[in-house]
Amino acid sequence: MCWSATADLAAGTGIAAVGVVSVSLAAHRPRDLPLAALPLLLGAHQIVEAAIWQHGGGTGPATLAWAVIALPVLALWVPVAVWCAAAPTARRRLLIPLAAGTVTAAALAYALATRPVGAEIRGHTVGYSLGLPQAGLLVAGYLLATVGSLLLSGERALVLFGVLVAAGAAVCFVLWRSEYVSTWCAFAALCSLLLTRWAARRRPAHAAT
């Protein structure tokens, strides 16, 4: 994944298909649907990046769509989805990453609306020039919203998902600093396969018969 248009397209299609299964498994628990749909969103996100590969990078609609999903959408989607799926006892502490996600998503959306976004093919990865103001603060808010909500969820499977995504963020930053966002999103997409198992385990027993 992230090595070529073909790799992104194949991986994105496969992960999106898993997302369809995940959503079907969560159909009997509407509050689980936003989180169960995360693989579907991330799979589509990788397919969008395949289009960026095909166009050789640039500043076109695919690049902007990729940035919108990667930044404001995920910053808000993940904490909202975790809050919806969480047990009532966990929801109070989840208000912190939810608030961080709301503020961060608003700031990222404003930045994307007022600044150009560019993509550049760099060997076997895609680098993005985002020109974000206060980038360090936004990254901190983004990780608190996404990884933080998973770690605070109180559910073993989601905490494991959060640990893997956090580890992936660290590795991607160290190894591919200039292509960090692209590689981290790809890693998160692969990790999101765990959500299908999570959705299956939460499926009511009578629904499986």
The per-residue pLDDT for range 121-150, each reduced to its tens digit, is: 887 778 888 888 888 899 899 999 999 999
Residue 206 is predicted with a pLDDT of 47
Say what the pLDDT of residue 209 is.
43
The whole-number pLDDT of residue 179 equals: 61
- In order along its 209 residues, the chain shows pLDDT tens digits of 456 888 888 888 988 998 999 999 998 899 999 999 999 998 899 899 999 999 998 999 999 999 999 999 999 999 999 999 999 999 999 999 999 999 999 999 999 999 999 998 887 778 888 888 888 899 899 999 999 999 999 998 899 889 988 887 777 676 665 565 666 666 666 777 788 888 888 866 445 44
SS3 118: strand
CA pair distance 4, 124, nearest whole angstrom: 6
Give the pair of three-digit tokens for residue 48.
């969008």
Residues 84, 101 contacting (CB under 8 angstroms):
no
Mention every residue, 6+ apart, whose C-beta is less than 8 A from residue 161.
Answer: 150, 191, 192, 194, 195, 198
| Per-residue pLDDT, 122 | 81
Closest CA to 46 of 198, 199, 148, 192: 192
Cβ atoms 98, 76 nearer than 8 A: no
pLDDT score for 123? 76
Sorted by sequence, the CB contacts under 8 Å of residue 156 that are 6+ apart come out as none
What's the pTM value of the predicted model, to 2 decimals? 0.86
Q: How many domains are contained in the chain?
A: 1
Which strand (E) or helix (H) includes residue 122? strand 118-122
Sign of CA dihedral 84, 165, 192, 125: positive
What residues make up the domain containing 190?
5-208
Compute the residue count for the chain.
209
